[in-house]
Structure 1
């Protein structure tokens, strides 16, 4: 069995916003000359980890944030200290880094076995970003909407002074606008590569350490198995524990949702189709887009191809956006089952 599993998910996004900082994030596509909205791979990873914790009803690992006071008595950001403990599932799957200030302790690093792409349009012409102006006032209920106008000295102005100030203008004091709110819409894909060699295995190499020596002994005491993978000696999570978490991992990778504190303007972001393979190129062919020439302006046509080599699972809503004959109500459940079978089949102890 090959040591990698690749997954591509196709979702429909309707008038939503991903992880706002200054409106909807976007990048410039230089090939087609359009702004393309996206959700970062880090956000997708965070959502997968949150979904996994919710499914298993477990808490994520604690994190310590260090703040330093500088010579000017001002607070500055210091280290972020992780437990570096693979017994916490979010650490095992999400990776960690612990680097102490001044190099007094050895840096511990573990790379996540998940490589996750940004969620972006299936094709630059199949996703878009637009703006709208919204309000947050109570102008429909004047008794609940109070307005205070301060003069240059910071003192509240009287109604007569305000009326004089507004003479000759068309300014309204009751409508409070939030201009140019950006929204994303379209067909979006995300890709995930799973490295089975390190999915449940943690290196014990002390030349490039992932674990402290004390943590290695603790894991051995708790039943972790000493073995070898392509990277050298490692500890592997016991089989009984793996079999408990694998179904939740499969579900989280397919049915994660944008976390509520990272998105506004609710959209179902329903999953339309999933492709799974041990060959990344097959994913690109299974869920893709094709340029079609329609006069002066090219268009992109979304395509689901079940003969491109990957296992493809098409949900019912997909038929509303792409011509397909194989959509089914249990498509996502079958995709989860496929992932579970592949994750269970790998021989983690004898790589």
Structure 2
């Protein structure tokens, strides 16, 4: 087995994943509905945040380049990562450094983690509702109100009072219309490429690291081996033993940390499936259209599907018919991931 697939089922309630016109969404043409989603990039960042928190490590620094033009204006330049797998967020997150002007070689490494967006389990099992909100401070006598005229001049209290005559308007309350909230069952997939998880290739034609970084890694115990991608450096066993439990914890316990505080949702995990077969894992957590009712889908968790290990939490039974939910389901899933990643022979892949 060289790839581990993980499917996660979560429940979200009246929340916001990412703010874009209220809530990111896409249109499903078959069912004619807008479906909320959280991008793979947001999931990846949430996972990496959890990982670095578990190992108590500051993420690698990021370089932001700007340029000042002849008019004295600040212009946008390139952004690039540290490109050093000694940092866990770089090792698992991947990197790319493409210098402006093409005078330096582009350094890039694809992440060994393929991460999908978190989207609705089925278009009929997730959706967006709308609400109107307000920012109301009308009960406070010490508010400061500033009103400016068309020329930007601040009006006096007398001018404001005169302006408000005949108008039913409060100046201590802001109306926030058409706010979108996500609710429903959501699924997310991750694939771990074990062949590249702790390996950095030494292909000089498509370099992943600089010579300086390569020398540093060798000095720190990274061993040269060969796998299907050619010659590469593999992280030492003590580093793997430290990072594997942290990565398993992050994959099982990540949570979206960038949603708005006033629309917080636990987004509890209902089930996790683990397999080496992408097709089977797709069937382990799925939905099925109802034969009896139109426009109704039934969520399904296959707890005994051959080739798939499924771990069901206690909250799942409130939304899906289950038989084997348990309080320690996520701990068992985490331990199983650790076992699978520890078992792989990283030094002898061929």
For the aligned pair, the TM-score class normalised by the smaller chain equals over 0.9
What TM-score, normalized by structure 1, do the two folds share?
Answer: 0.95
Q: 1:208 aligns with which of 203, 206, 226?
A: 206
Structure 2: unaligned runs, 5 residues or longer? none
Q: Residue 332 of structure 1: CA displacement?
A: 0.3
Q: 1:305 aligns with which of 299, 302, 307?
A: 302
Contact preservation (8 Å) 2:15, 2:259: no
In 1, Cα distance between equivalents of 2:215 and 2:11:
47
Tell me which residue corresponds to 1:49.
Answer: 48
Q: Residue 281 of structure 1: CA displacement?
A: 0.9
Q: Pairwise mapping of residues 295-334 of structure 1 onto structure 2 (< 5 A)?
A: 295=293, 297-309=294-306, 310-334=308-332
Contact preservation (8 Å) 2:52, 2:58: yes
In 2, Cα distance between equivalents of 1:157 and 1:42:
46
Tell me which residue corresponds to 1:102.
Answer: 101
In 2, Cα distance between equivalents of 1:213 and 1:158:
67
Contact preservation (8 Å) 2:312, 2:326: yes
Using a 3 Å threshold, how does the CA distance of structure 1 residues 217 and 6 change in structure 2: closer, same or farther? same
Contact preservation (8 Å) 2:36, 2:120: yes
Q: Could you give the per-residue CA deviations for residues 168-225 of structure 1, whole angstroms, max 9, x where no partner exists?
A: 4333333211111111111111100000010000001111100112221211111001
Q: Residue 160 of structure 1: CA displacement?
A: 4.8
- How many corresponding residue pairs? 347
Contact preservation (8 Å) 1:37, 1:121: yes
Tell me which residue corresponds to 1:125.
Answer: 124
Contact preservation (8 Å) 2:9, 2:185: yes
Q: Could you give the per-residue CA deviations for residues 231-282 of structure 1, whole angstroms, max 9, x where no partner exists?
A: 00000001121011111110100101112x4544111111110000000111
Contact preservation (8 Å) 1:138, 1:144: no
Tell me which residue corresponds to 1:246.
Answer: 244
Tell me which residue corresponds to 1:280.
Answer: 278
Q: Secondary structure at the match of 1:189?
A: strand
Residue 333 of structure 2 is aligned to residue 335 of structure 1: yes
Q: Pairwise CA RMSD of aligned residues?
A: 1.5
Q: Secondary structure at the match of 2:330?
A: helix
Q: Secondary structure at the match of 1:252?
A: helix
Tell me which residue corresponds to 2:227.
Answer: 229
Using a 3 Å threshold, how does the CA distance of structure 1 residues 199 and 139 change in structure 2: closer, same or farther? same
Q: Pairwise mapping of residues 142-161 of structure 1 onto structure 2 (< 5 A)?
A: 143-161=141-159
Tell me which residue corresponds to 1:70.
Answer: 69
In 1, Cα distance between equivalents of 2:254 and 2:316:
18
In 2, Cα distance between equivalents of 1:226 and 1:314:
41
Q: Secondary structure at the match of 1:124?
A: coil
**Higher mean C-alpha deviation, range 26-35 or range 143-152:** 143-152
What TM-score, normalized by structure 2, do the two folds share?
Answer: 0.95
In 2, Cα distance between equivalents of 1:16 and 1:268:
9
Q: Residue 79 of structure 1: CA displacement?
A: 1.3
Q: Pairwise mapping of residues 157-196 of structure 1 onto structure 2 (< 5 A)?
A: 157-196=155-194
Using a 3 Å threshold, how does the CA distance of structure 1 residues 232 and 298 change in structure 2: closer, same or farther? same
